[in-house]
Amino acid sequence: MIKIGVLASGRGSNFQSIIDGIKAKEIDGQIVALVVDNPEAGAIERAQANGIPYFIVEKKDCPGKGAMDRRIVEILKGKKVDLVVLAGYMRIVGRELLGKFKGKMINIHPALLPSFPGLEAQKQAFEYGVKVSGCTVHFVDEGTDTGPVIEQTAVYIGDCKDAHEVSERILPYEHKTMRKLVANFSKGRYIVEGRKVRYESGL
């Protein structure tokens, strides 16, 4: 069983997908901490409803460079976390946090990387006029959405009327992909070889 730490900033629907995967016994793991940088985050209610410990770490309470990351590291290390999942976490991960969990931190991005990295990926894809977008789960590195790709799911968006519709169409696939990937982490391991990622089942 793996111990999972989740970082979120918003409603926490991908966080919920992991909770649901654990309840369905697809994921052999336990979420031992939710860390949010926003006291209004909907993810907090989801944590409360499921008895998951949560921690609010705001920038204003962490003066000085790297202080916020150090506080998060303290929480995650204290909970003996094996895997850190960024589920709609809207802050750049600093070197200190990344260094402590390199190769053990993943992020979900609502586009097919390396296309449309950064914020508002769905809007970028819609405005560019692509017919297919989707979502990517990748390891987190020092760049913005530049880490090795673990899994991608393609979604047809050619008939979407606006960026909001693109977001709504991709979101269920984010949930499914995230749930699958965390389940895989709980039963085996992903090995990074350059930019290639391969999976070895522990079963």
- Tally of domains in the chain: 1
Mean pLDDT of 87-92: 88
Task: Output DSSP code: residue 153.
Answer: E
pLDDT above 70 as % of the chain: 100
Q: What is the mean pLDDT of residues 163-191?
A: 96
Q: Please say if 109 is a catalytic residue.
A: yes
We report the CATH number of the domain holding residue 54 as: 3.40.50.170
13-52: per-residue pLDDT in tens? 999 999 999 999 999 999 999 999 999 999 999 999 999 9
What's the confidence (pLDDT) of residue 94? Answer: 87
Q: Which residue has the tokens 């097919």?
A: 112
Residue-range definition of the domain harbouring residue 151? 2-201
Nearest CA to 22 among 75, 85, 74, 80? 85
Identity of residue 157 = I
Task: Give the C-alpha separation, 192 to 79, whole Å.
Answer: 25
CA distances from 118 to 39, 137, 197 (A): 23, 14, 22
| CA quadruple 138, 140, 142, 143: dihedral sign | positive
What is the structure's pLDDT at 203?
A: 56
Question: Which listed residue (109, 138, 164, 175) is catalytic?
Answer: 109
- pLDDT tens, position by position, 148-161: 999 999 999 999 99
Which of 45, 39, 44 has the alpha carbon at shortest distance from 59?
39
